Amino acid sequence: MQPLSPWMIVICSLCVFFLIAIILRLIYETRNWSKSLKVLDENFKKEMAEKIQAEEDKQHLEKALLQGQKLQAIGTLAGGIAHDFNNILYAIMGYTELAREDVPADSLTHQNLGKVLEGCHRGQELIARILAFSRRQHHELQPIPMKATIESVLSLLRPTIPASVSLNFVAAPGEYTILGNQTQLHQVIVNIINNAVDAMDGEGTITLQLAHLSPNNPILKQFPKIIGGSYCKIDISDSGHGMDQGTMERIFEPFFTTKEVGKGTGLGLSTVHGIIEEHKGEITVTSQLGHGTTFTILLKEHHDGEDFISRR
């Protein structure tokens, strides 16, 4: 066998060299292609996640708008009915007073007619609450420190709730000033806590949390009526039996109640919703059967020199 000539050795070496170069190039291109595919896959997943989130946000906004329109329509209807019912009560009270004048003051009939008048007065109080809900009366709004306001409400509530209910308050550091009506905000907190106590059957834990939300916080993007700026976020959670989806969708409707007959009018949370709406805020509820309920309230923070912006 003849030895390979130098030229053949050079040619073979070059072939091997080019072959190795091609293989290395293919490996390099394969890695780049793999990286490109990985980037494309990540971008695709990110884009799909954004689309899914955008669709969920859209559905949430549509649902919130429909709920607001529904509450407005029910409030208008309730106001009209309340006016008519009030007129009927005035007639009943007038004729009852006339009837009492025709019987002896110490008679059983006089006492029974007095009971009728008491019932009419209770009916008038209920009507006043309905009208307050339907009219969305505008009250004078002033700068209110929410941390001090919540602490004041809790100091008044603690002696009235069962000792088996633990009432906790946690506030992140900082000032929490909003523009509002303190009496109405007291009513909001009291109504929600009273409902929480009822939901726990008098035993459990209620926790209030106060925090800041910066203008670019993603939570604010979930609400269609947010007008910009920083917000005060109040979470009121209980360890009660929770609610199903159907109950949560109706929780702010006037006259809707899950309590037994005679124990609730169904106006507490609808009034709360109306007050928060008047303060240009938002209120939502999350719950799960057997795992408690959380009400979340958003109120725009107020800074010196700011005006209260009207929201259409």
For 240, the token pair is 């009660």
Report the CATH number that the domain containing residue 282 is assigned in CATH. Answer: 3.30.565.10
> pTM to 2 decimals?
0.57
Give the per-residue pLDDT at 17.
76
Domain closes at, from 109, 135, 161 = 135
Q: Do residue 89 and residue 164 come from a single domain? A: no
Facing residues of 294 across strands?
237, 286
Residue 293 · residue 283 · CB < 8 Å: no
Q: Do residue 111 and residue 173 come from a single domain? A: no
- Residue 176 DSSP code: -
Q: Do residue 102 and residue 244 come from a single domain? A: no
Helix (H) or strand (E) holding 277: helix 268-278
The 10s digit of each residue's pLDDT in 59-105 is 776 666 666 666 666 666 666 677 667 778 877 888 888 888 888 88
Residue 307 in domain: no
**Backbone dihedral region for residue 40 (phi beyond 0: left; psi -120 to 50: alpha; all else: beta):** alpha
Q: Do residue 196 and residue 94 come from a single domain? A: no
Calpha distance 232→13 (Å, rounded): 76
- Residue 181 DSSP code: -
Residue 121 in domain: yes
Which residues constitute the domain of residue 232?
142-300
Q: Do residue 157 and residue 251 come from a single domain? A: yes
Residue 254 in domain: yes
For residue 305, the number of C-alpha atoms closer than 13 Å in the C-beta half-sphere is: 0
The 10s digit of each residue's pLDDT in 277-299 is 888 899 989 998 888 899 999 99
Residue 101 · residue 260 · CB < 8 Å: no
Length of the chain measured in residues: 312
Number of domains, the chain: 2
Q: Do residue 252 and residue 296 come from a single domain? A: yes
Residue 210 in domain: yes
Residue 272 in domain: yes
Give Rg (Cα) of the chain: 33
Give the per-residue pLDDT at 309.
45
Facing residues of 238 across strands?
206, 293
Q: Is 161 exposed, middle or buried (0-12, 13-18, 19+ CB in 10 A)?
A: middle
Residue 79 in domain: yes
Listed as ranges, residues in the chain with pLDDT below 50 are 262, 308-312
